[in-house]
Chains A and B, each alone.
Chain A
Amino acid sequence: MAQMSATDKIDVSIEHKRATLDDGSTKKHPNTCPGCGSHYRDDELQVHLRVCPQCGHHYPVRGLDRVEQLADGGSFVEDERSLRSGDPLEFFDLKPYPERLAEAEVSTGLGDAMITGAARIEGHPCRLAVMDFSFMGGSMGSVVGEKFVRACEHAAEERLPLISVSSSGGARMQEGILALMQLPKTVCALEDFHDAGGVMISVLAHPTTGGLLASFASLGDVLLAEPGALMSFAGPRVVAQTTREKLPDDFGLAESNLRFGHIDRIVPRPELRPVLAQLLRLFGSEP
């Protein structure tokens, strides 16, 4: 097919731009910037809040690092640390689910994909619910759902604003229908929180897809996203395979979502803390 070979030629030019590592392989080191090919040491990235100083690409941020970036030093008090997921379906794909959970806990040091607690941002007290993508793709199962609900309840009791930072592939398949039920569960808790006069600010980090976008992450009073964050209900691969449509270059990205009116603002990571402080001020939180 003549057309196909024309497309191949275009692909070659894309390949040309790709940084090749010393050993000639194209598989990139996690510290190599997918945007410009620059490479950084861990400490260099950490200093720049894991944003590429060359091109502004936002690298993923672990949950606790995110808390450290946002909260006033020493102000964060984590809660609900001991919650662990059950295995309601006795789910077994290539491995039993409890084994996957144990592996994730060992590799991340976390009990599940969300960290919650009380904190201060530029003096303003608030509650944080921060997701960590490295725990099973940030997927939402019973524990993430329960932690978010408890964060809403604590925030309501203490009359504090709630800030969520999401980074998740969606519902956790290994918990089957009970994972899907975490959507209405978190939505119902957020409705109670809103009825109690609570303020919720939702920050969408890369990626926030599937069940997360279809539940609490979309229901904040204000929605902020990081530059380049993918935020789509269906992922690009599913859409391309199902519809055979040609996807726009910015498919599902924060920039496209801003244009179509689904978020309030795109906030580069270095500005996130002052922007959140401004919102806390505007919603009437006393420092």
Chain B
Amino acid sequence: MTTEAELGLRDRLAKLSGVKLLRGTRLSAELERLQRQLERLEDDTSDEEIWKRVELARHQDRPYTLDYVERILADFFELHGDRGRMDDHAIVSGIGKLEGRTIALLGHQKGRDLKERTSRNFGMAYPEGYRKAMRVMELADRHRFPLVTLVDTPGAFPGVAAEQHGQGGAIARSQAVMARLGVPTVSVVIGEGGSGGAVAIAVADRVLMQENAIYSVISPEGCAAILWRDASQAKKAASAFRLDAAHCLDLGVIEGIVPEPEGGAQTDPDAAAVLLRESLVSHLAELDGLDAATLRRTRRAKFRAMGVFA
């Protein structure tokens, strides 16, 4: 089903690539939206434009997971700890009401001031964070709560203790748990979607990105240091990666783009939350009523189809 939707979108986008022909004719609201996405795709190819999105995605005033939780969910109850070792503050989780229905939500959490940033480890989780995420995913599955995950991390934490506690295995297992869930899942990249630490909680039925979010296999700085042997080439790396939302949509990695207020989410967090809420509600409604087996099958088939080869 998802693949059909994706094919349809690509097809419509392809038709719209002759935008000049369509200008002046009447377009439905959806086509207009697609056209805007396409225009962004065509307009924003310069290194500078893509770099601007990297900066917005990392903006210190950008709303974080808990900023959205308090604006979107009613009656939120935060869940703490991995039931084994600790409570990793780089990932927050809980249950709350969306449109009168209980959902489970988890996401990376960065800090606002220096003290909070340190305690949240700049949104870089340890394996314990992913174990906390897995236990909340399983809780959602047990109680048939739809699951929403918000992705915002530079990456999983690279440290000695993180390795000793099994960072790679935790990220792998977190993806496996998401692939098994029998409840509707929606993931939204709300800032930085940094590599394995991001995809660990983004194996969802619908993966969305906010307009100024980025999603990439390695940070632009890391890539530049390795491929160009010069970290200052990060801008070049960022545009080579096409890590912005429009390009990720074009590559078939995400299903949709969540609009932000003019100038970015940090200019008006309330308006950004309204737009995010609308997207979540409409995508969850589309997934409502699908049985567990169908959800699993279509979710796995969607990821199965990713890649370009001949």
Chain A residues within CB distance 8 Å of chain B:
83-89, 91-94, 141-143, 145-146, 149, 171, 173, 175-185, 187-192, 209-211, 213-219, 231-234, 238-239, 242-243, 245, 247-248, 251-252, 256, 260-262
Q: Are A142 and B160 in contact (CB under 8 A)?
A: no
Closest 8 CB pairs of A and B: A213-B168, A234-B158, A142-B307, A86-B308, A233-B168, A93-B227, A188-B300, A214-B171
12 extra interchain contacts, Cβ-Cβ under 8 A, other than A143-B307, A180-B216, A181-B199? Answer: A86-B309, A86-B310, A93-B240, A182-B306, A184-B203, A189-B304, A211-B195, A214-B156, A233-B167, A234-B162, A234-B163, A243-B158
Whether the pair B243, A176 counts as a contact (CB closer than 8 A) is yes
Q: Compute how far the CA of A175 lies from the CA of B200 in the bound complex, rounded to whole angstroms.
A: 19
Instruction: List, in ascending order, chain B residues with CB within 8 A of A149's CB.
Output: 304
Residues of the A chain whose Cβ atoms lie less than 8 Å from the Cβ of B172: 183, 187, 213-219
Using Cβ atoms and an 8 Å threshold, which residues of chain A touch B76? Answer: none
Task: Please choose the segment from B9-17, B94-102, B173-181 that sits at the chain A interface, where 4 or more of its residues have CB less than 8 A away.
Answer: B173-181
B168:A177 contact, CB within 8 angstroms: no
Q: Can you name the residue of chain A whose Cβ is closest to the Cβ of B299?
A: A188
How many A-B residue pairs have C-beta atoms within 8 angstroms? Tell me: 188
Identify the closest chain A residue to B224 (Cβ): A93
Interface size for B (C-beta < 8 A) is 51
Q: Which residue of A lies closest to B226 (CB)?
A: A173
- 22 intermolecular pairs with C-beta atoms under 8 Å apart: A83-B309, A142-B306, A143-B309, A145-B306, A146-B307, A176-B251, A177-B216, A180-B199, A183-B199, A184-B306, A185-B304, A187-B303, A188-B179, A189-B300, A191-B180, A191-B300, A213-B169, A214-B156, A217-B168, A233-B171, A239-B160, A251-B160
Measured CA separation A170–B80 after assembly (Å): 31
Given contacts A187-B172, A187-B175, A213-B168, contact A173 B227 (CB under 8 A): yes
Main SS class of interface, B: helix
With a cutoff of 8 Å between Cβ atoms, the chain B residues found around residue A213 in the complex are 168-169, 172
Q: Does B158 lie within 8 Å of A88, measured CB to CB?
A: no
Chain B neighbourhood of A239, CB < 8 A = 158-160, 163
A245 touches B223 (CB 8 A): no
Q: A181 — which chain B residues lie within 8 A by C-beta?
A: 199, 253, 303, 306-307
